[in-house]
Amino acid sequence: MNKVNNIRDYTNDEYISETEEYFGNSEYIAPGLVHTQEELINKIKSAPIEYLSLDDMKEMHNTDIGEILNAGKQEDMIRVGKQLAEEYERDWGSLVNAINDNKEIPPPIVLRDTKDKLVLMGGNTRLMVYTSHNKHLPVKIIDYDKEFDFKAEEQEFKKREETMVRKIITEDASKHYPSILKDICEPCKSVEEGEKIAVDLLNTLTKHKSGIGLAANQIGINKKVCVVHIPKREPLVFINPRIVAKEQEIMGVPEGCLSFPGETVHTTRHSLITVEADNWEEKVVLGPTSEDKQESTDELWECIATQHEIDHLNGKTMYDRELKREPIKRESKKIGRNEKVEITNGTDTKKIKYKKIEPFLLEGWRLVEEEQVNV
């Protein structure tokens, strides 16, 4: 690789940005290195500049440079690097322009412990871009007088993941519901982006034990990601999902929603659906197939919840699927509460007392020779 020599110092704003990385993450790996941001800036300013070997770069912690170098051919290194930069929402193009225009650039910052282990503190994208373009970018080395505590960092990240619970957007449905729940969500640019959102969703859903599903816009993220988790079953994660087939319509499904606490709506759904999603290689078929009664019930609710959550991603709530029922009209005579009437669901017929008719109407039954339910 060709060594890069046109290096410049960081600006004041860049120093502040780069040192925030230490106090956000690296302080758990290298505790006690510094105590203030000013102290760290001074260390960076006085740190020597070195060219790391490719082997050292591959072994360095807190960077994707090893993945770049292991990609092989230069075109593959660039392809992998661009994908990673997009996932991190970093500007790849401007750095490529900096290479082409031979612009000066500040060196990445690396910590080194007493065992010569390396941790990148800042400049991952710069390293990826320059290395993939066959440019050997030097780094500033800050020596740490102890061994890195990688276990402490791992524990901290695990703790953050476990406590990463978002507030669910709620509203009084009798007045209005939040605009974000009416908007169609934007698709995720990558599966990795969706997976990060799914972690938040699952953690939040776990805390709210009364729910079995959650969509990204319910926690304020306008992306097409949703999760469904029936107790004692594996959670389902859908990134950019779409329902491609529906069968066996069912009416009168009692649904609730974490965004509308305490509310119940009877809806129209399907007991068998087929879903495609970017994080699933094959189509996912949901619905009751088990001969075990409890498992079959769980499969049905998993299917219904998936429809509910995908609706959220498309700007719909359970109120948009509400089963509307018009009052029964009979001009010939008034029906007494204890009078028996004949009802049908299209296949079977039965006679029941009129006072007991309402739950049957919600399930799709109707009075013989009269249509009673409008959907």
Shortest CA distance to 43 belongs to which of 4, 15, 13, 6? 15
Task: Count CB atoms within 10 A of the CB of residue 108.
Answer: 23
pLDDT tens for 217-228 read 999 899 999 999
Determine the Cα–Cα distance for residues 222 and 133; give it in Å rounded to an integer.
35
Per the CB < 8 A criterion, the answer to whether 325 and 361 are in contact is yes
Task: Give the pLDDT score at 372.
Answer: 28
Active site residues: 309
pLDDT value at residue 43: 94
Output the pLDDT for position 236. Answer: 96
**Residues of the chain falling short of pLDDT 50:** 327-332, 369-375
pLDDT number for residue 156: 67
Confidence at residue 362, expressed as pLDDT on a 0 to 100 scale: 62
In this prediction, residue 188 carries a pLDDT of 94
Q: What is the pLDDT of residue 24?
A: 64
Domain boundaries, the chain: 2-156, 164-321, 327-375
Given this model, what pLDDT does residue 276 score?
Answer: 97
Torsion, Cα 292 294 295 296, to 10 degrees, reads: 80
Q: How is residue 275 written in tokens?
A: 């879903």
User: Is the pTM of the predicted complex or chain greater than 0.75?
Assistant: no
Q: If you ran DSSP here, which 8-state letter would residue 267 be given?
A: E
| Exposure letters 46-76 (e unless 16+ CB within 10 A, then b) | ebeeeebeeebbeebbbbbbeebbebeeeee
Quote the pLDDT of residue 331.
Answer: 47
Specify the CATH superfamily of domain 164-321: Peptide deformylase (3.90.45.10)
Measured from the Cβ of residue 174, the count of other Cβ atoms closer than 10 Å reads: 8
Closest CA to 257 of 177, 346, 360, 142: 177
- Tell me the per-residue pLDDT of 135-150, one tens digit each, with 9 for 90 and over: 999 999 999 999 998 8
